[in-house]
A = this chain, B = another copy of it.
Amino acid sequence: MTHLLDAADSFAATSLKGFCDIHARLVRPTPGGVLRAAATPAGKVALVIGGGSGHYPAFAGYVGPGFADAAVAGDVFASPSTRLVHDVAARAHRGGGILLGFGNYAGDVLNFGAAAERLRSEGVDVRVLAVTDDVASATAAEMARRRGVAGDVPVFKIAGAAAEAGLGLDDVERVALRANERTRSFGVAFGGCTLPGASGPLFSVPAGQMAIGLGIHGEPGVGESSILPAAELAALLVERLAAEAPPGAGSRVAVILNGLGSTKQEELFVLWCAVSEELAKAGLSVIAPLVGEYVTSLDMEGCSLTLTWLDDELENFWRAPCDTVALRIGAMAEAPGAGPDEAAEIAAAPAWGPATPASQASGRTISAGFVSLAQALKEAEAELGRIDAQAGDGDHGQGMARGSAAAAVAAHAAADAGAGAASVLAAAANAWADRAGGTSGAIWGLGLVAASQALSDERPVDAVQLQLAARQALESVMRLGGAKPGDKTLVDAFVPFVETLSAEIGAGASASLAWSRASHVARDAADATARLLPRLGRARPLAERSLGHPDAGAVSFALCTRVLSDLKGETS
């Protein structure tokens, strides 16, 4: 149970503030995360890690010499926004490029991926690394779909040491990818965690039972059994991991026996005695093992075992000195504090370029559209929440309302200042992404950014542009969100919408008529998806439910297209 807080929505930010205050020797706060307190040499590759809060000491506890350069912190169990990832990474950049490291969750993949694209568009060399160590989350044949859990620690540690040793970005990425390919975790849970402000646990495990392979946000595991004695549990954990030894990986392993929150150190030491025997039986040599709380899940009861099969290079980086809050190895030369040059503020977003009066008029229309959208989504907030709660965590309405409201404000400001159609839509897109939160916020932001790239600040929006914008948005949503038609996401409504829009415009219909017809098709598709909800029920994986809002997404998409039907007349 989480008891210490003033307000649930400020929990993560206040916690990070307290952390930075106590650990000022190692970290300094920056909006959305932390940076190293110590200076780093110019040209060093920057390792920037992050994800949702609630996993302390992941991720801010791993910032410091020999390890990460910065950490980005989202809300509890929620990915940081694209903008926060971008800004923290830009502040950590020392000219040598950036490796963005995160666990493989939909929201993080989207936001870190989008931030990487934004940084690249600014001329920074960026690589992304999604850690995929949780063997219970997908089969070995689908390793890239696995979630990241405590394997974050060895993978990031090794990458951080490689960067500290002066390797270039190509080599740091290569080492990090090899570490990830050779890292496996497996865990069990005895009880769930409670989100700050919630009155009961996010999930629970029957008394006397343990959930095998349960994810750190309660994602379903691979089975359940009665709680095993330490010796048998150790055998279960080691067996499952040893069976997945990477081919030709040798016998040296880095090991983390990790407590998830309320399974305490003394218990972990008891289990360690048995794990260490089982590892020896499996012919594995233990290198610099760690036993403690390294990636938690608030006050969850349970533990996990992580192995990284080492070669000489990986072992060297695993053993290398580091000085962070959560892990201190050897002695590092005392580095001077970071100078103001390193703490330079991110340049303000560039103002938009000149626009023609015709494109400015389209910009005003777009702005008006977002005002209508924000109004409609505010009214629909409770209903969307209700639909979402049937298969998700019920906050989809809130995210859509927050995102559209921010977009309306930003679009209005841009249009007022004379921006053209493309710039107004881009401003709205970024504001939506930054404020809506969660995966759906990131997806809407990315989709709208892609749409804005089909428009220009010189010409008014016409039917051809409109059709192209919709298609580019769809492609971006599908590429970055990873959903296909039939996955019960907004894609189910988006695909027939774009097909109808294109067909109608191709057949000579006005933009307004084509949009109206397309929005009807989208609504039908969304209704079909929504009818499946009660059948899907709570059996769906929690991660997908809480991050993807797959079902309510189609409904809200259809709603948005319908609201905008009223405005199409002005664009053709």
Give residues in A with beta carbon < 8 Å to B: 1-6, 11-12, 14-19, 21-22, 53-54, 56-57, 190-191, 196, 210, 227, 229-231, 233, 261-274, 276, 289-291, 293, 296, 298-299, 301, 303, 328, 331, 334
Q: Report the minimal beta-carbon distance from A457 to chain B, rounded to whole angstroms.
A: 45
Given A54-B266, A264-B299, A291-B22, verify A6-B231 contact (CB < 8 Å): yes
| A230: contacting residue among B6, B293, B301, CB under 8 A | B6
| A22: contacting residue among B14, B16, B289, B298, CB under 8 A | B289
Q: Report the minimal beta-carbon distance from A420 to chain B, rounded to whole angstroms.
A: 45
Whether B22 pairs with A190 at a CB distance below 8 angstroms is no
Whether B6 pairs with A270 at a CB distance below 8 angstroms is yes
| A266: contacting residue among B15, B265, B291, CB under 8 A | B15
Q: Report the minimal beta-carbon distance from A6 to chain B, rounded to whole angstroms.
A: 5
Query: Would you give 6 A-B contacts (Cβ < 8 Å), ordered by A?
Result: A15-B267, A17-B273, A22-B269, A54-B266, A261-B264, A331-B334
Whether A16 pairs with B190 at a CB distance below 8 angstroms is no
Whether A270 pairs with B21 at a CB distance below 8 angstroms is no
Whether A229 pairs with B6 at a CB distance below 8 angstroms is yes
Cβ of A196: which chain B residues have Cβ within 8 Å of it? 267
Extra 10 A-B pairs, beta carbons < 8 Å, given A3-B267, A6-B229, A18-B273: A2-B264, A4-B267, A5-B270, A11-B266, A11-B270, A15-B270, A21-B273, A22-B269, A54-B266, A263-B299
Cβ of A265: which chain B residues have Cβ within 8 Å of it? 56-57, 293, 296
Whether B190 pairs with A5 at a CB distance below 8 angstroms is no
Given A266-B298, A269-B16, verify A303-B4 contact (CB < 8 Å): yes
Q: Report the minimal beta-carbon distance from A201 to chain B, rounded to whole angstroms.
A: 12
Bound-complex Cα distance A11 to B14 (A): 37
Number of copies: 2
| A14: contacting residue among B56, B269, B291, CB under 8 A | B269
**In the complex, residue of chain B having the shortest beta-carbon distance to the beta carbon of A7:** B229
Q: Report the minimal beta-carbon distance from A271 to chain B, rounded to whole angstroms.
A: 5
Q: Report the minimal beta-carbon distance from A324 to chain B, rounded to whole angstroms.
A: 11
Bound-complex Cα distance A80 to B271 (A): 23
Cβ of A269: which chain B residues have Cβ within 8 Å of it? 14-19, 22
Cβ of A264: which chain B residues have Cβ within 8 Å of it? 2, 56, 261, 296, 298-299
Interface centre among A1, A190, A268, A293 (most CB of B within 10 A): A1
Cβ of A262: which chain B residues have Cβ within 8 Å of it? 1, 261-262, 299
Bound-complex Cα distance A298 to B296 (A): 17
Whether A18 pairs with B191 at a CB distance below 8 angstroms is no
Bound-complex Cα distance A205 to B403 (A): 42
Cβ of A230: which chain B residues have Cβ within 8 Å of it? 4-6, 14
Cβ of A190: which chain B residues have Cβ within 8 Å of it? 1, 3
Bound-complex Cα distance A373 to B19 (A): 59
Q: Report the minimal beta-carbon distance from A492 to chain B, rounded to whole angstroms.
A: 37
Cβ of A229: which chain B residues have Cβ within 8 Å of it? 5-6
Bound-complex Cα distance A274 to B190 (A): 32
Cβ of A14: which chain B residues have Cβ within 8 Å of it? 230, 269-270, 273
Interface centre among A19, A229, A267, A290 (most CB of B within 10 A): A267
Cβ of A299: which chain B residues have Cβ within 8 Å of it? 262-264, 301
Bound-complex Cα distance A410 to B265 (A): 37
Bound-complex Cα distance A53 to B266 (A): 9
